């Protein structure tokens, strides 16, 4: 008789409800939406470093930026487009002819043309009617197609726009030559169940040959919603390394990729063992420290201190780990501190073949706990103070702003 499984896996129970495409094309947004995170700025050379690492991981498509933003941004996109990277280089632009021209000049082979769709965006931000949005979209898609670009048509705030307008706008986009449609949850308000309904309706109405999703993390649901979209049949999820992005960020590359592989058994096409190396590079260049408890790449993801947990993991890693750390290029750590138990200390002592008596082991564990409880928090408090200073107000300070105002001789009106 075969031995029973060590753990039960219930994902098979929903297999008939899942419709993954044969090849998922990861669309990385780290260099565009990730850079829009307050306080983050990449030089063209830094973008190239990250892009090279993304290529090593196996990312098929990456957004290099919006070249019309500045000369430096245009130089960055051109640098990546001419670097001979294994990833296809995409650049973004609004439904404005000048934006599309800037992408054409950059040498990128792919363009994401974006425009808002919800009434709040049209009325208060764009100050355009639905007819005007449709006309601008048609014109710029045709402009890009005539230049030989692969065109992804993106609507901001798709899921808060009237569905009839969404359908009309995307039909016009496809008729104008758009190769891929992108649905955006711009402020992260979808839940997986609602998003599933929405995407089924989107596909039913439009039958798009190629479609993608762009999910934000305002309620912590970006990865869950992205995986839901892939279950429904999305071809190219938008992701950012470490979950960088506007406000609370975007769907995390590492979580979506490893979730696909480990939870569904679906091939991501990526070298997941290089994800931690990529994560550390982006952490360093972006200057945004990873949360210790960040899934998969956070410093504590494969660390254990509590005695019950360390004892379990030492007996079998499946007790308190869902996958081996090597899957994402990590290693396991047993942390010595207040919650340490005897099993972890015995394991640590093996590193130097130390064999304590029972009394020595008891005393060593006692001292470890005491030392762990007595550790000063001064260093941590200093770090947190500096961290808050940097990230609560990451831009220019009020003093810097007003100094510029006065230096330019701008009157105050008083």
pLDDT for the residue numbered 142: 98
Rounded CA separation 28/99 (Å): 20
12-to-5, 9, 22, 255 alpha-carbon distances in Å: 14, 7, 18, 20
Contacts of 312 (CB under 8 A, 6+ apart): 319, 320
- Determine phi and psi for 358, rounding to 5 degrees: -60, -40
Give burial (CB, 10 Å; 0-12/13-18/19+) of 312. middle
The whole-number pLDDT of residue 54 equals: 98
Q: 131: which 2 tokens? A: 């007819």
CB 190 within 8 A of CB 198: yes
Flag residues of the chain having pLDDT under 70: 376, 412-414
The boundaries of every CATH 3.20.20.70 domain in the chain are: 17-286
Rounded to 5°, angle at Cα 333 from 348 and 221? 160
Where would I find the beta strands (DSSP E) of 307-393? 333-334
Residue 304 CB partners (closer than 8 Å, separation 6+): 310, 313, 320, 332, 333, 334, 335, 344
Task: Pick the closest to residue 84 from 50, 63, 55 (CA basis).
Answer: 55
Which SS3 state, helix, strand or coil, does residue 235 take? Answer: coil
**DSSP codes, 42-60:** --HHHHHHHHHHHHHHT-S
Residue by residue, DSSP assigns 84-138 as T-SSEEEEEEESSHHHHHHHHHHT-SEEEEEEE-SHHHIIIII---HHHHHHHHH
Tokens, residue 50: 């990250």
Euclidean distance between CA atoms 31 and 250, whole angstroms? 12
Q: Which CATH superfamily is domain 17-286 in?
A: Aldolase class I (3.20.20.70)
Give the pLDDT score at 414.
Answer: 53
Burial 46-57 (b: 16+ CB within 10 A, else e): bbbebbebbbbb
| Tokens matching residue 241 | 């390394």
**pLDDT single digits (tens) 32-68:** 999 999 989 999 999 999 999 999 999 999 999 999 9
Classify 220 as helix, strand or coil.
coil
Question: In this predicted model, what pLDDT tens digit does every residue of 292-330 receive, in sequence order?
Answer: 999 999 999 999 888 788 889 989 999 999 999 999 999
Q: How far apart, in Å, are the Cα atoms of 87 and each of 231, 235, 375, 376?
A: 24, 16, 47, 47
User: What's the confidence (pLDDT) of residue 412?
Assistant: 66
Q: What proportions of the chain, in percent to the nearest 5, are helix, strand and coil?
A: 50, 10, 35
Structure tokens at 172: 């016009």
Q: How many CA atoms lie within 13 A of 42 on its CB side?
A: 33
């Amino acid at each position: 008789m075969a031995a029973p499984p060590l753990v039960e896996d219930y994902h098979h129970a929903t297999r008939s409800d899942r419709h993954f495409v044969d090849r998922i094309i990861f669309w990385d947004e780290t260099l565009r939406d990730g850079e829009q995170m307050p306080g983050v700025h990449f030089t063209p050379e830094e973008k190239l470093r990250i892009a090279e690492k993304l290529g090593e991981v196996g990312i098929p498509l990456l957004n290099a930026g919006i070249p019309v933003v500045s000369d430096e941004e245009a130089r960055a996109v051109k640098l990546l487009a001419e670097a001979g990277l294994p990833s296809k280089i995409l650049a973004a632009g609004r439904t404005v002819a000048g934006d599309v021209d800037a992408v054409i000049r950059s040498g990128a082979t792919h363009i994401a043309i974006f425009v808002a769709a919800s009434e709040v965006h049209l009325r208060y931000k764009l100050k355009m009617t639905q007819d005007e949005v449709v006309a601008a979209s048609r014109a710029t898609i045709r402009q890009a197609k005539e230049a030989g670009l692969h065109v992804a048509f993106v609507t901001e705030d798709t899921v808060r726009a009237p569905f009839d307008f969404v359908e009309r706008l995307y039909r016009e986009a496809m008729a104008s030559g758009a190769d891929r449609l992108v649905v955006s949850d711009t402020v992260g308000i979808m839940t997986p169940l609602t998003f599933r309904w929405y995407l089924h309706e989107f596909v039913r109405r439009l039958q798009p040959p190629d479609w993608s999703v762009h999910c934000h993390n305002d309620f912590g649901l970006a990865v869950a919603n992205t995986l839901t979209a892939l279950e429904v049949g999305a071809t190219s999820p938008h992701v950012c390394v470490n979950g960088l992005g506007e406000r609370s960020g975007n769907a995390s590359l590492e979580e979506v990729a490893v979730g696909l592989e480990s939870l569904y058994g679906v091939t991501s096409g990526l070298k997941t063992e290089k994800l931690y190396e990529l994560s550390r590079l982006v952490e360093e260049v972006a200057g945004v420290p990873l949360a210790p408890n960040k899934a998969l790449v956070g410093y504590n993801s494969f660390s254990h201190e509590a005695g019950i947990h360390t004892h379990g993991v030492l007996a079998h890693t499946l007790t308190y780990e869902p996958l081996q750390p090597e899957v994402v290029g990590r290693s396991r750590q047993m942390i010595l501190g207040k919650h340490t138990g005897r099993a972890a200390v015995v394991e640590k002592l093996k590193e130097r073949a130390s064999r304590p008596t029972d009394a020595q082991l008891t005393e060593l564990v006692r001292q470890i706990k005491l030392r762990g409880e007595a550790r000063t928090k001064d260093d941590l408090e200093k770090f947190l103070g500096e961290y808050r200073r940097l990230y609560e107000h990451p831009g220019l300070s009020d003093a810097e702003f007003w100094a510029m105002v006065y230096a330019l001789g701008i009157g105050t009106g008083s």
